[in-house]
Structures are given as C-alpha cells and as structure tokens.
Amino acid sequence: MSGQVNITIVGSGYVGLVAATCFAELGHNVVCVDKDESKIALLRKGQVPIHEDLLPELLVKHLGGKLQFSTDLKQACQHAQAIFVAVGTPQDSTGRADLSYIDAVANEISKSVDDYKLIIEKSTVPVFTSEWIARILQRNGVPRSRFDVASNPEFLREGTAVRDFLVPDRIVIGTDSERAIELLQRIYAPLTSGDYYQREDALAIPSETDPEARLVVTSTKSAELIKHSSNAFLAMKISFINNVANMCEAAGADIDEVALGIGLDTRIGAKFLNAGIGYGGSCFPKDVAAFRHAAEQLGIEFGLLQQVQAINDQQLKRFVSKIVSALWTLRGKRLGVLGLAFKGGTDDIRDSPAISIIELLLNEGTQIQVYDPAAMERARCVLPASASLTYATTPYEAAKDADALLILTNWEEFKLLDLPALRQALHYPIVIDGRNMFPQAVMGEAGFDYLSVGRPPVYGAALHADARQEPVTFAI
C-alpha cells in the first residue's frame, strides 16, 4: 500500500497549506486550490503568507515539482484521486459553525466527478457533515458509486504545524468504505510504516512518540466528534488550570507547584496546564461554541462548555485588574506590551487575548507601546497606530519610559531578554506577566516588581527602598 497519490487540497489557510506541503514531502502529487488569486500568486513565487516554522523550507523544496498552486478547482479535481476540503468554518451569530464554504466546495466538486473520487473533510466540522457532503453530490447527479466521503481531522498546533503533521501522535480517518480506507492508508503509508523517517532528505524533527504514526480508523461520525471533542477538552483544561490559578492567588499558593503536582498524574498529564490570560486563536473559541451548539442540536445539555468560555472571558478582566492593582489608575499611564499573537510561534491574532487586553486598556485611556516578533503587520489592520498606540521595533523600545511592562504572548525569545537593560528602559521597574515567562526569584533579584498569574507577587524594587506596601486589588 505505497505509491504516489494525486491529491487536491481545497483551501490554502493554515491547515490547507501545511497539508499540501507535507503531502508533497511524503511523495504525493499535490495541487493546492484557492479562489484568492493574490494569495496563489504569492505562493507560486515561493512566499509564505503565514508565520509557520519549517513551512517556507518545504514550500521552496517542492514548488513546481510535487506541489502546484491553482485557482481552478474544477481542473484540479478532475486529476485528483483524493480531494481534501480545508476551507474555513467560521462561527456564526448563534455559535454554530458556518458550513457555507464547505457547501459551495461540495457543489463545485460535483461538477468534476467523472471517475472515482474520495472527498475528505480536513476542516473542523460538526457531526453529520460528511452525510451532507454526500447528499449534495447526489443531488447534483453524481452516482454514489463514483465517490466516497471520509473525515480526516487535523490536530495541528500553530507554530509547530509541520512537525505535528509529519510526526503525529495519531492519524484519524473516519469512513465506512473499504476503498476509502485503502486510499487513505496509501496516502499516509510513509508515516505509518516509518519509511519517511528513514529517508536521507526527511526533515530532522525530534519526536516524543514512536517513529511509526498510529492510524485510527473509525466511522465518519466518530471522527467528526473526535476533533471537536479534543479541542473542547483542551480548552476546558486551560480554563480549569486558570481557575485553579485564581484560587492560588487568593490563598497565597503557587500555581507552578500545583500544576506540577497535578500534571505528574499520568491520567491527567502536564500539557495545557500553563496558567495565563486564557486561550485564543482560530480554533478553541470557535470550536467550543460550535461543539456546544452541536450538542444542543442533538438534545444534549453541555453547560460545562459555557463555563469554560465564561472562565476564559473572565481571565482577561482579572488580568486588567492586576494591572490596576500595580498602578492604581490607568488613564494617562504609559504601558509597554510584549506580544500580540494569540500564542508564540505564530503571527495569528484571531481571538488573541493580547489584542483584547490592549483594546480594554486603550478604552481606559492608556498609552501603549507594543512589540511582537511576527504579528505586528497583521495587528495594524485591527489596531492601527495612533497617538495612543505605537509599534516598537524591539522589546526595549516598547519598554522605554513605560510605567509598567506587560507580557501577553509566550514567545520564547522573551525569556532571553537582557533584564538589566529592560529595567533601565522602564520608567518604573514593574513587569506584569500574563504568561509566567520568568522565575519569580530571578525577577526579584533583577530589581523588578513582578506580578504573574497564580503565583505570589515579588517586589524586587523593595530591595532599593525602605518599605513597600502590598497592592490593592480592584474589580474591573
């Protein structure tokens, strides 16, 4: 079950572009289709429109060979054996997933089915989507014998998406068709057999898992539920540890110690137990809402997910309250901000907690100087530069003469900051860390007043003063 497969990827966003380049890396012939002509023109030049580690290298490696880009969906589908649908499923006003893009793609694909095609959901979709795709093709006159529909959800993390694709902890394929299973097994054979990892030109990617990827075969409905359930559970884990962090602050405990003790339980695990300002991005907020809506449509009350979102929203307000506790008032204060992306390693600002906090602070009359290694260009579209908001070229420029420095995104490079230079740049040596990037003792010894999430505050500046008062907590 090896050999090249002709693959078409519909959609060139995070999922589609990563899937296209990685399938080409595995040896398949791939055409990535998008109706955005400017994006396709950019990709044909070998330029990546998103910040994603290893993606530029793979694009250049396979462009014009195993990997092609097109705006002609019909032509791309005619030559494909497998068609992966990786278009957006944004949240609508009711919280459910907007499936209009998938509906449109299914209608277009139906015009190109002149021999057997396997249509695979790669987007995150609610249960029953595969049945609707099949129904659309049949309504458009495509005989059922000429196609199958399968679900192959992605489990990619922005910033490490290429690594996650090529060294997955599991590959889930959902289908009731033997011929669909056989084709998908062929597509993923380089990973499931381990052959890819033996190639001389394979990417050297450290792995925490076995070199042979595990293939999980389920029904389409189970596969659709696996993806939504996974994201909802991870979001729940983040909200849970953030609520525990709030308890730690109230009790004077340390969330790092608590999370360590929890995470060493193999039934729980340490991942996603990092307290902070909450989750964001293009997946968790949308998928939690969509999963809850899907449950309601099935008559299942899933109030737990409502609390997950409520805790996440409240975490932003608690962080702003922490800033107030350090500065007393906000109006007229100058704040340095490090981080705009929803997480480190990406330029994605969709539903970014950092953006939300900056907007809250601007509404309170603050002046903000912000720096992010990758996301500033995207952020300018939602937060244009103004008298109240300036974009800095370095972290130290963002901190220049600021009354406090806020850390809102967990970029690894922030851990390498020159702390004496940072203290010199600030007007007051106050750092309010929403990502717990630094050990408290280190910040105290460097002379900072350091406030983080779920950990006792440190008043290093008190080393240079006779006395220091505890901050007053304000509710926002």
pLDDT at residue 469 in the model? 47
Tell me the pLDDT band of 468, cut-offs 50, 70 and 90: very low
Has residue 56 been placed in a domain?
A: yes
Residue 22 is given by DSSP the state H
Torsion angles phi and psi, residue 269, rounded to 5: 85, 155
Tell me the pLDDT band of 162, cut-offs 50, 70 and 90: very high
Is pLDDT of 474 > 80? Answer: no
Cα 148 to Cα 133: distance, rounded to the nearest angstrom: 10
Mean pLDDT on 328-351: 96
Has residue 223 been placed in a domain?
A: no
pLDDT at residue 400 in the model? 98
pLDDT at residue 255 in the model? 97
Tell me the pLDDT band of 2, cut-offs 50, 70 and 90: low
Q: What are 259's two structure tokens?
A: 């999370």
Mean pLDDT on 272-280: 96
Has residue 323 been placed in a domain?
A: yes
Has residue 230 been placed in a domain?
A: no
Tell me the three state secondary structure of residue 267.
coil
Q: Are residues 199 and 115 in the same domain?
A: yes
User: What's the Cα-to-Cα distance from 357 to each of 15, 241, 275, 341, 408, rounded to whole Å?
Assistant: 27, 20, 16, 12, 9
Query: Bridge partners of 9?
Result: 32, 84
Tell me the pLDDT band of 80, cut-offs 50, 70 and 90: very high
Q: How many domains does the chain have?
A: 2
Q: Are residues 19 and 145 in the same domain?
A: yes
Per DSSP, helices labelled H in 110-216 are 129-139, 161-166, 178-192, 195-198
Residue 172: count of CB within 10 angstroms of its CB: 21
Is pLDDT of 467 > 50? Answer: no
Has residue 233 been placed in a domain?
A: no
Q: Are residues 292 and 405 in the same domain?
A: yes
Q: Are residues 136 and 76 in the same domain?
A: yes
Q: Are residues 100 and 249 in the same domain?
A: no
Active site residue 283: yes
Least confident span in 163-167, 195-199, 253-257, 461-465:
461-465
Has residue 227 been placed in a domain?
A: no
pLDDT tens, 282-322?
889 999 998 998 899 899 999 999 999 999 999 999 999 99
Mean pLDDT on 120-142: 93
Mean pLDDT on 323-341: 97
The answer to whether 370 and 340 are in contact (CB under 8 A) is yes
Nearest to 393 by CA among 414, 376, 371: 371
Has residue 132 been placed in a domain?
A: yes
Residue 3: count of CB within 10 angstroms of its CB: 9
Cα 375 to Cα 117: distance, rounded to the nearest angstrom: 39
Cα 367 to Cα 364: distance, rounded to the nearest angstrom: 9
Contacts of 2 (CB under 8 A, 6+ apart): 186, 189, 190, 193, 195
- Pairing outcome for strands 334-338 and 367-371: parallel
pLDDT at residue 96 in the model? 82
Mean pLDDT on 352-374: 97
Q: Which of 32, 77, 248, 283 is catalytic?
A: 283
**pTM of this structure:** 0.91
Q: What are 292's two structure tokens?
A: 């809850």
pLDDT tens, 193-243?
999 999 998 888 766 555 678 999 999 999 999 998 999 999 999 999 999
Cα 312 to Cα 279: distance, rounded to the nearest angstrom: 7
Contacts of 170 (CB under 8 A, 6+ apart): 155, 213, 214, 215, 216
Q: Are residues 189 and 251 in the same domain?
A: no
Q: Are residues 198 and 322 in the same domain?
A: no
More confident residue, 90 or 66: 66
Tell me the three state secondary structure of residue 160.
coil
Cα 373 to Cα 25: distance, rounded to the nearest angstrom: 28
pLDDT at residue 93 in the model? 74
Task: Sheet with 334-338: list strands edge to edge.
Answer: 389-391, 367-371, 334-338, 404-407, 430-433, 449-451, 458-459
Cα 51 to Cα 162: distance, rounded to the nearest angstrom: 12
Q: Are residues 275 and 145 in the same domain?
A: no
Has residue 165 been placed in a domain?
A: yes
Of 185, 218, 251, the domain-final residue? 218
- The chain-wide mean pLDDT, for the chain, equals 93
Mean pLDDT on 382-400: 97
pLDDT at residue 3 in the model? 85
Cα 50 to Cα 41: distance, rounded to the nearest angstrom: 14
- The CATH number of the domain holding residue 327 is 3.40.50.720
Q: Are residues 144 and 183 in the same domain?
A: yes
Residue 213 is given by DSSP the state P
Q: Are residues 196 and 264 in the same domain?
A: no
Q: Are residues 214 and 243 in the same domain?
A: no
The answer to whether 343 and 375 are in contact (CB under 8 A) is no
Q: Are residues 384 and 435 in the same domain?
A: yes
pLDDT tens, 170-198?
999 999 999 999 999 999 999 999 999 99
Task: Sheet with 147-151: list strands edge to edge.
Answer: 67-70, 29-33, 6-10, 82-85, 117-121, 147-151, 171-174, 215-218
Enclosing domain of residue 57: 6-218
